[in-house]
Structure 1
Amino acid sequence: MDVFASETAPFAVAIGLTLAIAAIELAGLLFGAQPSAIVDSALPDLDTDVPDMEVGPLSQTLSWLSFGRLPALVVIILIAASFGLCGFALQEALRRTLGFALDPWFASVPAAIGAAFVTRYAGLAIARIMPREESDAVSTKAFVGRVATVFRGVAGPGSPAEAKLTDIHGKTHYLLVEPDEGETVMPEGSEVVIIRQEGSVYRAISKLKPAG
């Protein structure tokens, strides 16, 4: 039993984490809090309905894992549960067929890969049947006319940079901006005004500074 426990320790921890998160979410519901909303607000807004949206590798990875389609805690529960179950299944299958199990840290690699794919496709399936809250939804068309701040890279003609924008609900969105015709480059820290969207890129002009 002790050998089995040591071979499956990371996966038991993942299952325990799943139960702990579920308990926290349940307690939040009982006391009128929303732990999932707190986690969601700490993540970049992922506009999964915008085709060809590219805002960097981190956002792409989070979106692929179904963050943005489901509440963040639901995705975290999927990751932890699927990692634990994949790990247990792998170790048990090896023990039954080959008579031994892998070192748990080596077994964690295929378990993590399996968990990523399970989370991806389970998340897509759940998102199709889970009702979505539309009251605070913001169309990307509402970004036009709003001020964004370039925070990574230098935006130039044909070379967009990442910018962040806060919508009317206080949520932060990350998007690609490129100077409109006649505009100069926009270095990091520049405040720009979004004037239109072209595919996954937003055209912008420099925000006029108030006369001093």
Structure 2
Amino acid sequence: MFSQFLTPAYLPFAIAFVVMVGIGLIEAIGLGLGHLDLDADGDVDLGSMLGWLGLGGELPILIWLTSLLGCFTLAGVAIQQAASALIGDPLAWPAAAGGAFLIGAMLNTLAANGLRRVMPGFETTVITTDDLLMHRGTILEGTARRGSPARAKVVDRHGQAHFIMVEPHADPDAISSGETALLVRREGRLFFAVPDRESVLRPI
């Protein structure tokens, strides 16, 4: 069986199997490469389309890809074994690979959705830009004024630091280096903040 797996008719599935094992090892040792941010702007509903494929925000992309490769390999081997039993020879690899991809994609939809349900403890550290709103940032250099943003550092809920450009929310305000401010809105890559020296924003 192993020698048969290395013949040209089975080559796409042998390659998929090797890649699947490699990706599985990467994900198993936790290199942190398997997370995907599906925050997309546009008219196409990518979230629902990817959700139908089983690729949702709750499932790391490497696990999804490993599952897809596994389904492709199993479908391909099954097709070639069935062809050998019926006509005496396996199909040419392009025909077998095309059929295996279609069958594997459908099987992977079920497999990936099942994996999402049995992984309730998975938490991603990927955030969207808007998740930084209502966090406090510290001006690193210069003074932030309306029309003249300054570079600031903000730490998200996962403890990761982000470096952004900040302007005061109100025209008269200025936020100097070392001061903190509450991020209240965003326009593109620019954030607007209210200085923490306002008494209503001081922590109790």
Q: Which TM class, normalised by the smaller chain length?
A: 0.5 to 0.7
Shift in alpha-carbon separation, 1:119–1:2, aligned structure 2, 3 A: closer
The equivalent position to 1:39 in structure 2, one of 29, 34, 37, is 34
The equivalent position to 1:8 in structure 2, one of 3, 6, 10, is 10
Following superposition, the deviation at residue 133 of structure 1 comes to 3.4
Q: Verify the 8 A CA contact 1:65 1:75 in the aligned structure 2.
A: no
Correspondence list, 1:70-149, <5 A: 70-134=59-123
Q: Verify the 8 A CA contact 2:33 2:62 in the aligned structure 1.
A: no
* Percent of pairs with identical residues: 23
Matched, 1:62 2:50: yes
> SS in structure 2 opposite 1:130?
coil
Following superposition, the deviation at residue 9 of structure 1 comes to 0.3
Following superposition, the deviation at residue 85 of structure 1 comes to 0.8
Shift in alpha-carbon separation, 1:133–1:2, aligned structure 2, 3 A: closer
1:23 counterpart residue number: 25
Q: Which moved more, 1:75-84 or 1:117-126?
A: 117-126
Q: Verify the 8 A CA contact 2:71 2:108 in the aligned structure 1.
A: yes
> SS in structure 1 opposite 2:33?
helix
Counterpart CA distance in 2 for 1:108 and 1:20 is 20
Counterpart CA distance in 2 for 1:130 and 1:63 is 16
Counterpart CA distance in 1 for 2:54 and 2:82 is 29
Aligned residues: 147
TM-score by length of 1: 0.53
Name stretches of at least 5 consecutive residues in structure 1 with no aligned partner: 29-33, 48-52, 147-166, 171-192, 195-203
> SS in structure 2 opposite 1:8?
helix
Shift in alpha-carbon separation, 1:208–1:143, aligned structure 2, 3 A: closer
Following superposition, the deviation at residue 115 of structure 1 comes to 1.2
Q: Verify the 8 A CA contact 2:17 2:69 in the aligned structure 1.
A: yes
1:162 counterpart residue number: none
User: Given residue 126 of structure 1, which amino acid in structure 2 is its aligned partner?
Assistant: L
Cα offsets for 1:10-53 (capped at 9, x unmatched): 00111111111122233x3xxxxx33x3231xx33269xxxxx9
Counterpart CA distance in 1 for 2:125 and 2:12 is 38
Name stretches of at least 5 consecutive residues in structure 2 with no aligned partner: 136-154, 161-184, 193-204
Counterpart CA distance in 2 for 1:115 and 1:83 is 4
User: Given residue 7 of structure 2, which amino acid in structure 1 is its aligned partner?
Assistant: A
Q: Verify the 8 A CA contact 2:34 2:63 in the aligned structure 1.
A: no
TM-score by length of 2: 0.54
